[in-house]
Structure 1
């Protein structure tokens, strides 16, 4: 059980930063000229957005987000970050625009003449789609394999050209404009109607935009953290509706051109609406094989075969989704949801205060990132070699920054990486308290912590790759001389004295050397507290990025 803090130590229970505020990094790049504030606001919309859940998931800490902004401004100034607010809102608007286009086009396809209002709306939607292509060439992406943000314009352009470019570019062909031009130039009404209908039939290529629609909808789901299963069902219903709508329009145009007998008389005042209903019923029969009879028309035969094929695919997809519903509790996300429900029930039954319940939820979300897993069971199934390689990958870079461990043999470093334990702290959690006896050292994998003197004065911040508490780990019965509080969600690795001694017990000379260095540094800390040394000899208070940190490890913590 940890000891109580000394009475003389100020109780710092919350982090209210008293250090000089970090300079807005945009000031360095937009410092003068006209409309400075407006230009900074515009540029800020293209940079990584802290409120985007994907930023928190992949960048994790405020320090990483700030570093991402600096890299963006210095190396890829004119690119748009994939986690930016501009990208998020633009894709949301394009979901509405593409859905509207996919609804309007098959309906207009059935009209003999296009009105000026509809033509203006169609041109507006096409302009938005053209702008979307330009934005696609300027928007970075998240590499699925490395989970890194790619902002290089060359790599972005190559990925877009190999991916969605054709399905975005081909639908830009606006055959309505060509048909209106032909109507104004032709004098033969019969040939005019036939020609314009053939040209307007080219609008069917706009259905390719459905691929971009699904991509943007997937990203919207990630932003709002919707259930994957419910989202898939909604997306399936939307796509099915759009396919039925398009197939209805195409069937009507083909049936009208081939003058099918089952269409009602064109002189009827409800000619269009009634025939569209008839075509919709026919298409529904094609898709789901309900009372279907083969057509005798050679013009409709290819359409019928295509509709039957699409119907079979849709039915197979429906069945797969139903099976997924039955097996949903076996997926990692649904296991996470089940555990989340258990957490809510637990805090409710224990009558936990709302503030603590909220912290429990934050901890759960940060640890599992919306996907539940049992780490101990996973590690037990792996071989010793694989477990060692995973630990080395995670922890070795953290040990490299510790001066006192640099001369240790590789075998000791490898052993230490396997002995470190992960701990997660939420914002304002107290990690160490001045006056407590320490027996471990902390390594910051991600996040940021604030350091306070025993009197409660904030000294600095420490971020990713930093560490503190090594003297307390090495020297027995040593008190902490500073309080450390989490500023961000912090993922820390802890190395205890017991684990450290077990790793170096076969190297007595190394242990004596490490102990001598620790005693010397501890005496320097004591002399600093009595005014014999200036704190500036030990602290480097600001990095070029404006983030406070210790230049040397915090030996005294």
Structure 2
């Protein structure tokens, strides 16, 4: 380097602005009284543009330009954080380290822990994301391409929403939704499909981490070779972790789908063994057909006051009471009887396309087995003789009930 260039570099480094005007310490004019003045000044300066920020050398190369930026910040956007402040720099460094650690560990947490454990383990993560969202909406925007800074709230909001807002929101939203009762009603199979997408989508934030790596390199003065080697190593590890988790999620989804049907059938067969055997119209059905009927049962929940069957409506299914009490009433709402655990009603709908002749209303919370007419006919379509016997039996009972007006617990509605 020539002697002239060395002298010019030394002059630039030691230069102090001598332009006429206000003193360098602009903050003292805005915070000049009250409690803890020095502390408040230091805290405010921490959120203002700093000459120690790597990008400040490009955006504001002179002290006079720095002073102008400070005045503009204090006068027009006092409550916001400057994107070239030390607070913004240190928070970016913290968030980058935090996200890298989170990205490397979260797949194992989601794969090896239960939902209840995740609520506690992920609490610091959720708090960090929530704080990040608040800070992002309060921090100005620095455009490296145009070398411009905007501290307008509207520009800040638009920039964040267009970039990482929805990713940050989706990162802790599932944990919040788990606390809502409605979330618990979503089938586990749907959650099993949604969760991997929510978890993997947040890895898009890693591209922000790569930009922050360069900021860290410039601030600490790391060599370009060390920076590139570190970035490559972290990226490879990240890809391996994410790839293993995606593979695990796919295998788990396939296995769950393959075994869900089998487990459901076995549970239904075990839990409904005695229910269908107590139904008089099914007593002559062979065991292998009863087994098919039990597999095709579904469960429904009714709360007190819910109308399960309404008189005059067309029936399409019968019900068996697992737990609970129902009230059977006539069309004029006169109670005929009450049915409890192990009873059944609505069997007439299995073979006859007629209107219901009674109301059935839940008295207590009820869990019922439901057998639909379409499934019943499908199972017995190759056994016309058995179906005919059941159909005749049901028709006789319905006619007898209507003729004698005897709608007791043995009647078929």
TM-score normalised according to structure 2 size: 0.50
Q: Which has the higher contact order (CA 8 A, sep 6+)?
A: 1
TM-score normalised according to structure 1 size: 0.38
